[in-house]
Amino acid sequence: MLGESVLAQFTRFVVVGVSSNGVYVLLFVALASLGSFTANLAGVGASTVLANELHRRHTFHATGRVGWFQAQWEAGGLALIGLGLSTASLAAMHVLFPGAPAYSQVVVVIAVSGLFGAARFLALRGWVFRTPNFSGLEPARQ
pLDDT of residue 10: 94
| Separation between Cα atoms, residue 90 and residue 96, nearest integer Å | 10
Average pLDDT for 46-66: 93
Written as one letter, the residue type at 67 is G
Which among 115, 101, 113 has a CA at the least distance from the CA of 43? 113
Question: Which of 9-18, 69-78, 99-108 ranks highest by mean pLDDT?
Answer: 9-18
Which among 120, 121, 2, 133 has a CA at the least distance from the CA of 58? 2
Give the model's confidence band at 140: pLDDT under 50 very low, under 70 low, under 90 confident, else very high. Answer: very low
